[in-house]
Structure 1
């Protein structure tokens, strides 16, 4: 027995119940009428999904229903990175392990960033088709994402042998070069799982079924944690003298498991292998659902012949997102791997009274300390902005569905609600960064450091935490509003603004501060990064308030639901190639 479709207020989307008498909406006060045969959505076998946005009593509940699973998903990624970092920090009393993991991971994400940004618009097209009453036409965009993932992975496999040389070009050497190269090589090998998982995830986000992705990611994280403990430490467990808190029983269990199978301790390389295994699980679960249960209703398998038109649509509005991802990963990667180290070295030389006073080893050691402290602080920033990224993905899906319905007014209201949630959350994180900055940094410091080394790392990391606190609210604005604009198909202006601001603030201003204010150390580049986030947040606020995004038509010129085509893969809507 099927449940009746909800009756919704045409002004605010509030659920008014399955049947009602004429009256007013309890949420907005707008007049409502009894649904008639001419206005009721089609029902029965083969009918499209109702174009209505909400199935809940209040917009906040609706927002949380769609966005909360994506927030949990993004947060779980961050928690996993957090746990990975803690495990790697327990390999031994040397900051090189954390720095190697961070630099190797950044190389991986930089390489796949264009495709990651490009495929975010899968969410846009799928959600707008859902709002237009033609959800079956969204499956072809998932296939586009899978093909793009494969096309990106193949050249990455050929690049694997050259990664050590690429890292060496950045001035890295010794143990750091060896560890970061191996970590990146393993991640490159499994790049298709990472890209494919994200592409299929955007399909489910657009279909307003984020629980599928959340379930897969959470299971993948369990696999990742167990595999990490086994592969990083082998049968020996964490390094001698390394504290594991209340989780000693877990490491004893994994050490016994590794010992029984003869698995050796692999260190940083083991962390990469654990990540690869977890990512494979994250991909296999949603792709199985996409090709199985979803096929029965939306013929997802038949959509594999997606056609060049779907590719052109993704490229047409997706390239700015890809460019933005590449640019941000390049700028932030350069900041983390090069500029922080250079800032630390400049500060050491300046404090010593000029060049030639310190040995090259002492200068390099100072740079590594600033690099490692920066990665510690960035892990906490991930705990702040990754949930906001999840919220942004949910906002993209909701705004896209509203635009597919032909209701830009609802899209604006939902975007503002998402913005309020994001600002409150990241504002609270800013307060925590300031109040608990020193103990937060100490948590990641490997045991065995001298008191002098510990004090230096805490001092550097705590200063970075304060800098991060300054831009948290502006980061929330930029993240959520970029998602809202993406849901409407407005991607070019935000992409160009991001590129211009990042190069001006992070690269130009950051380098200027290293040269002209070397006493700031790595704080110089962090000041440039803070300026970037603040300026971008302000610019995107003006773009959203201007309202030009409300006039963009991606999938149709009206919001009348359409019957699904028997062939599924054929036919386009007005406004699509």
Structure 2
């Protein structure tokens, strides 16, 4: 029940993002494979610039959940504000300049690897990606604030915000892409504007709840808005590995999709983005479960219950493996029909240099490779969430960075050079090897148990009021094991701990401050 209470809203939230991305690309596919490839390439180029911040802000969930578990919910709000300050500074210092020079950045990457791209696709991807970067603050702010809500176990709020954002984004995108209801026909630029407006709506919903009187009373969300170097340092201290992890991974995917794959032509590029959209249907709900695992493991570690934290992590892993395994079967059985959904949506005169049969054939092959990696991807996603919740962020970040560069970039480069006849399938096989290696290494790390001693917030310590026996930071409902005195508190419910009235005021707990 605890897993479902947090995971279900998180999964619905992630599925809403999947629907947004899926329908966005389906709408754009009506302009042909060139536009479809451009939206994919431009989108990943934009998110590469923001990836470090996205990855780093995931630890807002860790701090919020561990403070909740340790009996200090009022300390959680400051970490949400620290995340917003980080988002703003990164937007001004990194993303706005990147929006101005995205064309030069992308061209430089391709030139360094001696790769080429269709000129029409390259032009549209810069148009799309630049607009996303200009509005990226709202996207990052929505994700960072959402991590706070996950940490304090209020996942439904994030779900509502995401759904309302999509309700605005999807019809607006359709109108702006094709010029409906008196709006200008803007093509891929309209798709980018629709996405930014949807993010603004999503963040606005979260902030209305975040700043409400009820949340301020419990989490001090109104009184902790000022810039706090201490809280930003806390986020940096355990968040930078997650930023490096996601940043490295997205850079590798950027090189893979807009470099290695695009080098084989528009048909390969379009087929790859169609495959990745179906992979999103598989792994985005898994990220929802992983977010829930992070929050639950963080709370259990804060309560000094590592065994229960481990069991919850493996429960999340079992659920995710079953779901992504089922998706893998669908990829295998209906691979040509799934790719054809996008190709057949485009009018015949929009197909250009990428005939439908070529895109369907190549996409069917890449979906087979994608099916092979799904179960391994499931394990990797959940293990990263569990380790992050426990505060073990450096090791997963380093392992992800090393394996992604070795397999996705190194393996993809070798495959494209040594087996050019295989087209983009060679680099896709290198990606599959990456997921296998990453999953095995992360499972090994979790099983080693190193994370059990890495809590970033220590739970309150309780002693028997009669004999002084250490009762730990759990919820000892019953008699002291040493002298039999009835001792109890309600830390697990989030209330202030209590002791029996006949015992007087009880023992003042020893509170360990955040490092």
Give the TM-score band, short-chain normalised.
Answer: 0.7 to 0.9
Unpaired segments ≥5 residues, structure 1: 1-60, 235-254, 345-366, 565-571
User: Deviations for 1:454-504, whole angstroms, at most 9, x for unmatched residues?
Assistant: 221111100000000001000000001110010000011111111111111
Paired with 1:450 and 1:554, the residues of 2 have a C-alpha distance of 55
Counterpart in the other structure of 2:488: none
Correspondences of 1:129-140 after superposition (within 5 Å): 129-140=67-78
Check if 1:98 corresponds to 2:18. no
Counterpart in the other structure of 1:210: 155
Check if 1:442 corresponds to 2:340. yes
Counterpart in the other structure of 1:323: 244
The answer to whether the 8 A contact 2:16-2:166 is kept is: yes
User: Deviations for 1:354-385, whole angstroms, at most 9, x for unmatched residues?
Assistant: xxxxxxxxxxxxx1211111001110000000
User: Deviations for 1:249-301, whole angstroms, at most 9, x for unmatched residues?
Assistant: xxxxxx3xx22xxx221111100011011000011111121112311332211
Check if 1:290 corresponds to 2:210. yes
The answer to whether the 8 A contact 2:266-2:353 is kept is: no
Check if 1:395 corresponds to 2:395. no
Counterpart in the other structure of 2:404: 502
Counterpart in the other structure of 2:455: 553
CA RMSD of aligned residues (A): 1.8
Check if 1:312 corresponds to 2:212. no
- Using the TM superposition, give the Cα deviation of residue 308 of structure 1 relative to its aligned residue in structure 2, in angstroms: 2.3
Paired with 1:404 and 1:189, the residues of 2 have a C-alpha distance of 38
TM-score by length of 2: 0.86
- Using the TM superposition, give the Cα deviation of residue 172 of structure 1 relative to its aligned residue in structure 2, in angstroms: 4.0
Check if 1:175 corresponds to 2:120. yes
- Using the TM superposition, give the Cα deviation of residue 404 of structure 1 relative to its aligned residue in structure 2, in angstroms: 0.9
- Using the TM superposition, give the Cα deviation of residue 148 of structure 1 relative to its aligned residue in structure 2, in angstroms: 0.4
Count the aligned residue pairs.
Answer: 460
The answer to whether the 8 A contact 1:441-1:462 is kept is: yes
The answer to whether the 8 A contact 1:554-1:575 is kept is: no
Counterpart in the other structure of 2:18: 78
The answer to whether the 8 A contact 2:238-2:394 is kept is: yes
User: 3-state DSSP class of the match of 1:114?
Assistant: helix
- Using the TM superposition, give the Cα deviation of residue 576 of structure 1 relative to its aligned residue in structure 2, in angstroms: 2.2
- Using the TM superposition, give the Cα deviation of residue 436 of structure 1 relative to its aligned residue in structure 2, in angstroms: 0.3
Unpaired segments ≥5 residues, structure 2: 111-115, 462-472, 475-490, 497-509
Check if 1:119 corresponds to 2:31. no
Paired with 1:332 and 1:174, the residues of 2 have a C-alpha distance of 21
Counterpart in the other structure of 1:478: 380
Paired with 2:420 and 2:80, the residues of 1 have a C-alpha distance of 49
User: 3-state DSSP class of the match of 1:231?
Assistant: helix
The answer to whether the 8 A contact 1:70-1:214 is kept is: yes
Q: 1:158 aligns with which of 62, 87, 97?
A: 97
Counterpart in the other structure of 1:368: 266
The answer to whether the 8 A contact 1:141-1:306 is kept is: no
Check if 1:377 corresponds to 2:275. yes
Counterpart in the other structure of 1:272: 192
Mean CA deviation greater in 163-172 or 294-303: 163-172
The answer to whether the 8 A contact 2:170-2:194 is kept is: yes
Paired with 1:100 and 1:450, the residues of 2 have a C-alpha distance of 14
